[in-house]
Structures are given as C-alpha cells and as structure tokens.
A and B are shown apart, each in its own frame.
Chain A
Amino acid sequence: MSPAFDLSAADLATIWAGLIAFAVFAYVVMDGFDLGIGILFPTLKPGPERDGAMNSVAPVWDGNETWLVLGGGGLMAAFPLAYAIVLPALYAPIIAMLLGLIFRGVAFEFRWRDPRHRAFWDLAFTAGSVVGTLAQGITLGALLQGVKVAGRGYGGGWWDWLTPFSLLTGASLLVGYALLGATWLVMKTEGETQAHARRMAGRLGAGVVACIALVSAATPFLGHRYVEHWFAMPNVLFTAQIPLLVAVGTGLFFYSLRKRHERAPFLLALGLFALSFAGLGVSVFPDIVPGAVTIWQAASPAASQGFMLVGAAIMIPIILTYTGYAYWVFRGKVGTDGYH
C-alpha cells in the first residue's frame, strides 16, 4: 500500500493529517500535565499541597480537554473511514478513557463542594487520570501494532488491542504524563511542594528515557514498514536527527533540573514529547490506520475538508490567542499562603 506521493493528493488530506496531528499534540501538551498532576496526586500531602496543585490547573483543564474533542471530531470529519475503523477496534480502551475523564473532570468541582467526601473525589481524580492516561497510551500502542480491517470497517475482536506492546505504551504514557505534571509543579509551586516535584521529576525523567528506548526498540518488530520509513534515503538524513535530539534534550533536562531552573524542565519535557511524536509521525505517515489505510484513502471529499479548512484557518489562530490569554491571566506561582 504505497500510493504515489503526487502533488494533486499532497493537498487537503496532508494538511488535515497535519492539523489533526497538531490537535492531538496540543492535547498531549496541555492535558498531559493536568493528567500528570492527577497521577502524582497521591504523593502530595492532603491540604494546601494538594489544593495548590489542583488550583494550578483548575482554570485551564476544560480548554485543554477540548483539543481531544477537536482531535476526535476532526478525525470523523476529515478521515471518516479511519474514524469508523479505529474507534470500534479500540472500543474498550476508548470507553475506559471516557469514563476516566468523567471522574477526573468532575473531581475539580466536586471536591470543593463536598469536604466530607474530599478523600473520595481526590481518589476519583487520581483514578480517573490514571485510567484515562493508560487508555490513551494503550490506544496508541494498539494503533501502532495495527488493527484488522474488513471492507470499510473493523474486522477483529474486542480484545485485540491488549498486547504486551500496548501495555508498554500505556505504561510509558503514564510515566510521561507524570513527568509533565511534576515539571509543571516545579514551575508553578514553591518551597516544599516544589522540592518534592523536583525529586519526582528526576526519577520520572529517567523513566521516560527508558520508556522511549523500549518503545523505539520494540516498534521495528511490529512490521508495517516502519523500519523502511526510518532508514530509507533521503529520509534518514532527517530521521537520524530525532534520536540525536532526544539524547541532547535528555542531557539538557537533567542539567536544568540540577541547576534548579523552574521553567526549563517543563519545556524540555515537552520537547521530548515533541520528538517522540515526530518519531511516531515518521513511522506511520502516510498511513492513518497503520498498514491498512492511507490518509488519501480515508479522506473525506475535498468539499468537506475544504469547508472545514476555512474554519480551521480562521479559528485556530484565534483559539490559540485566547487560550494564551487565559494562561497569561493565571500566570505565576500558585503559592500556598495567599488564602490565610
């Protein structure tokens, strides 16, 4: 399945593949640290420490999660065939993700409304974040290993997604989001909480590097010409930079952590995510259902993609502007002493 990459096709479908990849990455960048804080919540002390961590994301989590809706909705609109194959194939992890995100989302409000059951909603916050993250990671792994396609639909069973590889990607994302959460707290908190977050960030950073190495080592065994994508000329001139940059980024990350920089660890952790994401793109592109369907085969007609592109071109810059504004409004440290 290797359609010629001619210009007439390198068009709307490619642009929309890029836009959906952007939405997914924006989601990972923004909701990753929210979910990470949920994952790390049990390691924070009840009281001001937990409350401060929660407050650092409370004003923005909802907007962050909207990128997930754009990713899903955009996939349905721009690549309906892929949406129709992939979602039933990943039925169990996606339902689990949705249920996890429900608990995570309402916990932001409910824990304040019900002090007597705050411990329960804190647990729901963590459990929801962990389940949501694991499910997202498993989804990624199951997609990479490929799904059975029959006609214009999914042709496999409802447990196909469960493999050692998908569990590995699930666990990796858990460590990765926890790292984003820890470095976010390094940036947004002070004192004891910050010191704790910095210690966690060090351990999680090592874990993330191990995870990147494991997933990278396992991916070639999945088939689907992933190796070819990486080592064919002239691609290799570009792809070779990715592991190199991961090594450099890792070094800088630990350096900045040791130097007690406050913003750099978070930004460098995001950088590692960006590189991993680019690596995935190299492996998969131009397939949208790996090994089965390309973006051109799955694309909705130009009348659909073009109509949406007008909206996306106008709205996404506006959205990024006011999202930036919202973050700017809530900039700075969430101290723990402002409320006494």
Chain B
Amino acid sequence: MLDHLSALTLARMQFAFTVSFHFIFPAFSIGLASYLAVLEGLWLATRKPVFLNLFKYWLKIFALAFAMGVVSGITLSYQFGTNWSVFSDKAGPVIGPLMAYEVLTAFFLEAGFLGVMLFGMTRVGPKLHFVATVAVAVGTFISAFWILSANSWMQTPQGFAVNAAGQFVPADWLAIIFNPSFPYRLTHTVLAAYLTTALAVGAVGAFHLLKDKTNPGARVMFNMAMGMVAATAPIQILAGDQHGLNTLEHQPAKVMAMEGHYHSHPDGAPLVLFGLPDQQAGKVRAAVEIPKASSLILKHDLNAPLKGLDSVPRADWPYVPIVFWSFRTMVGLGLLMLLLGLVSLAARLRGGLYAWRPLHRFAVAMGPAGFVAVLAGWVTTEVGRQPYTVYGLLRTAHSAAPLDAPAVAASLLAFVVVYFTVFTAGAGYILVLMRKAPATLEPELESAADQPIRTAGLMPGPAIDPHPPGPKSPVAGDPS
C-alpha cells in the first residue's frame, strides 16, 4: 500500500500522525492541570469536601492523559533527528536551545512534582501537595511557552544569520523567542487548551446531571465549566481574529489558502463560506460566497484589495483543500462553543443551569469539540506553512533525513499500530472513569477499591481528613 509513496511523503505522514496524536494530550492536560490546581485551592480555602472529591475524580483522568502525553512527546523530540535530520542540522542552533529550555524549565518541573501530586498527599500533607499541583500546572504552561516559541519561529523566523555551513545561527535571542507570530500563537493555543478542558469537564458534568441533577460534584463541575466556556469562547474568537491578521501580515499565502482565494480581488474579496477547492485548476468550485466580506474581516474595509494565490509562484502554494477545510472546521466549532456559552448564560440567568436538559445534551455533544478544533487549528497553521519548514527559507523537501522509503514505511506502520492500540485503550480507560458519577467520597488515586495495592507500604503520614474539624458542611449539600 505504501510502496508508491516517496520517503519524503512517508516522513511527512509520520510526523503529522505522531504530532496530531500527541497534541491531543497536552491540549487536555494544560487545562486540566490548572483546573486541578483551582479545585485543590478551593478545597484548601473553603474545606468543602466537594472540591476535594472533584480533585480526586479528575486527578485519575489527568494521570492517564499525562502519561500518554509524556510517552507520545518523547517520540517527537527524537523524530526531529530521525526523520528531519537536515532540518535539525540547519535549524538546530536556533530551535534546539528553545526546546532545551523547555526540558530544563518545564518537563523536569512537571515530571518531578507529578509523583508527589499523584501519590504524595498522605506523605507531604495538603499544603505541600498543593504546591506540587501548582508546580505541575505552571510546568505545563512553561512547556507551551517554549514549544510554541520554537514553532512560531519556524512560521515567522527572525533574529538569525546564516553561516557558511548553511545553518541558521542565532543573532538576537529575544527577537527569536518573541518572534512576530509567537504572542498570538501562544494566546490562541493556551486559550484553546483551557476551552478544550472546559468542554470536556462540562460534558462530563452534563452527562451526570442528565442522570441525576442533584449530584453535587456534577453540579459544581458543570457550573465551573460553563462559566469558563462562556468567558473564554468570545475571547478566543477575538484572539483567533488577531492571530489571523498577524498571519496575513507575515504569511499571506496561508491566509489565501484558509480563505480559498486562488484569485486576487482588487476591489473587495468575497468570504467563501463553503466550496470545493480544486488545487489543479486553481479555483474553488461550487463556492458559496458573501461578497466583499473577506476584505471586511481582514482589512476592515469592504473594498480593500486582497491578493490571491495567483500572485504567488505555484511552487510556493500550500495545499489549499486541507487548509480550507480544517480552518472551517475550527471556526465552525468555535462558533458552536460561543453558542454553548451564551445558552448556558441564559439558563443560568433563568435559574435552570442544572435542570435544563437540552443544555446538558448540547454540552455532552460538545465534549469532544475542543479536541477536534485544536487539531483542525494545528493542521491549518502547519499545512498552511507548507511547502516550507522554516517559512520562506527552508523547504520541507530539503529538510528530510536521507532514509530509504521502506525504513520510513515500516516505522510509520509500527507507529500507527502501536498508537491505535495504546491510545485507544487509554482513551477507553478515560471514558470509563468519566462515566462513573463523581462520588460523594471519591476514592483516593492511591487506594481506589479497584487497585488495592497502590498504597502498598506507603509510610504512615499525616492522613488527609476530608471532614476537618470545624463548622460541619453537609457532605451532600449544594456548594454552589
């Protein structure tokens, strides 16, 4: 099946496959780590048991997602060398140190405190445990900072020189780190991670409210998640718009592909809602358009001229059909998220947040939306960067390792088989955990009934009492 494909195409498929699988997990764990820190903080501040229960509930899911993120991420850190060695040789002096900083400032922090976060509550006590949780959450953010800086530099390179060996060498580190697309990409991606998590948490809360609208854990998580969606979705749309304007400035061909603009429009470009981009013919078939609306969005002027791909050499075109559709997928889901946020606000104002079943069904349906949107957005920006790895400077075709096609075909097949086996199982385990209603007394990660050995031999430490002395709060009471 794979023998007619070139080593380059196979290497691209392999990178796309492994990075897409990987990206799902940090998109979830960045948001979930922060959510866990908030839950534990709320528990420490209020001592309401519902927060501790929710913390324990989501901690088990976080542990699974994080483990899968770690193992799928290590693959990527080596794949730059195994499959993109020419790129690594040339760009290594610039993006290598950014990734080294990610390892030094983020990966170790996350990994070092993850053990304490997962297994250490009884050993270190609640306060230090909270410190560990916050450290993990901060680590996930720092990680996003560095890796997105590296990726943004590949999109909008600056602050470098080229040496005699053809390598990009750093000239100004601040210019490299804070390259033009970085602030926009960081904002847009981190907000996406928060939205993704909020939608997943909201869906789980809604799922359990549909079965029992009095479940206190489900109510709290649904309340928090819907608040987050309502607050973040509009900001995210604004951030996406700004990111798009930045892209128009620095990578116009990518925006042309997103918009489906094969042709230049000297007096106002239409917004192509839908259509079938035909890369060969260089036009969008069966296009449904709003006249001049694209110029309005991108230039804030109905009659502003917008160039199309006909102004770009054909050899520099990104593959429009993928970018066009992935962009519409992302935007469409973003608008649905906005709608969910607004509907939840309306329900909240009318006092029906926990009772209005259509809202709960909508929230359940939107559970995977964040993951899909994140991947679609990633595809848009990465495929839109083609045919370059370092935009405008180093072509993808000149970046690959000198490998034989059969070697890459074999590894690609192995990755596909292993990833589907392992990550399907992992996603299944996460869904099983999500299907369990949050209990009033959530079992510890370390001593859940289905895993009796987890605490094996943990030395007796200060036990965590979910009901500390003081004003008694009813366990099943409504904390909201």
**Tier of interface size on chain A:** 35 or more
For the complex, what is the distance from the CA of A312 to the CA of B447, rounded to whole Å?
38
**B90, B102, B173, B401 pick with most chain A CB within 10 angstroms:** B401
The answer to the question of B104 belonging to the interface, with a C-beta cut-off of 8 Å to chain A, is yes
Q: CB distance B407 to A92 under 8 Å?
A: yes
A68 CB, min distance to chain B CBs, angstroms: 7
For the complex, what is the distance from the CA of A293 to the CA of B457, rounded to whole Å?
50
The answer to the question of B418 belonging to the interface, with a C-beta cut-off of 8 Å to chain A, is yes
Q: CB distance B96 to A78 under 8 Å?
A: yes
The answer to the question of B93 belonging to the interface, with a C-beta cut-off of 8 Å to chain A, is yes
The answer to the question of A59 belonging to the interface, with a C-beta cut-off of 8 Å to chain B, is yes
Beta-carbon contacts under 8 Å, A60-77 to B? 60, 62-63, 65-66, 68-70, 72-77
- Chain B residues in 8 Å Cβ range of A207: none
Q: Interface stretch among B105-113, B258-266, B320-328?
A: B105-113
The answer to the question of A315 belonging to the interface, with a C-beta cut-off of 8 Å to chain B, is yes
- Chain A residues in 8 Å Cβ range of B440: none
- Chain A residues in 8 Å Cβ range of B104: 70, 311-312, 315-316, 319
Q: CB distance B89 to A83 under 8 Å?
A: yes
- Chain B residues in 8 Å Cβ range of A106: 67-68, 71, 422, 425-426
Q: CB distance B96 to A304 under 8 Å?
A: yes
Q: CB distance B170 to A307 under 8 Å?
A: yes
A322 CB, min distance to chain B CBs, angstroms: 5
**A73, A85, A157 pick with most chain B CB within 10 angstroms:** A73
For the complex, what is the distance from the CA of A316 to the CA of B108, rounded to whole Å?
9
Q: CB distance A95 to B454 under 8 Å?
A: no
The answer to the question of B291 belonging to the interface, with a C-beta cut-off of 8 Å to chain A, is no
For the complex, what is the distance from the CA of A55 to the CA of B433, rounded to whole Å?
21
- Chain B residues in 8 Å Cβ range of A312: 100, 104
**A52, A323, A329 pick with most chain B CB within 10 angstroms:** A329
Q: Interface stretch among B117-125, B181-189, B370-378?
A: B117-125
The answer to the question of A255 belonging to the interface, with a C-beta cut-off of 8 Å to chain B, is no
Across the interface, B457 reaches (CB within 8 A) one of A55, A58, A325, namely: A55
- Chain A residues in 8 Å Cβ range of B451: 112-113, 115
The answer to the question of B74 belonging to the interface, with a C-beta cut-off of 8 Å to chain A, is yes
A120 CB, min distance to chain B CBs, angstroms: 9
A339 CB, min distance to chain B CBs, angstroms: 5
For the complex, what is the distance from the CA of A59 to the CA of B170, rounded to whole Å?
38
Q: CB distance A91 to B403 under 8 Å?
A: yes
- Chain B residues in 8 Å Cβ range of A246: none
- Chain B residues packing against A (C-beta within 8 Å): 63-64, 66-68, 70-75, 77-78, 80-83, 85-86, 88-94, 96-97, 99-105, 107-116, 118-120, 123-124, 163, 165, 167, 169-171, 173, 401-404, 406-407, 410-411, 414-415, 418, 422, 425-426, 429, 432-433, 447-448, 450-459
Can you report 25 residue pairs joining A to B where beta carbons are below 8 Å apart?
A48-B456, A55-B456, A62-B114, A63-B112, A69-B74, A69-B103, A70-B100, A73-B96, A78-B96, A80-B92, A83-B89, A108-B67, A110-B64, A112-B448, A112-B450, A114-B425, A154-B85, A301-B170, A303-B173, A304-B169, A329-B116, A332-B459, A333-B457, A334-B457, A335-B456
List 8 other contacts, CB 8 Å, given A303-B171, A311-B100: A83-B88, A87-B85, A99-B414, A109-B426, A157-B404, A308-B100, A319-B112, A322-B108
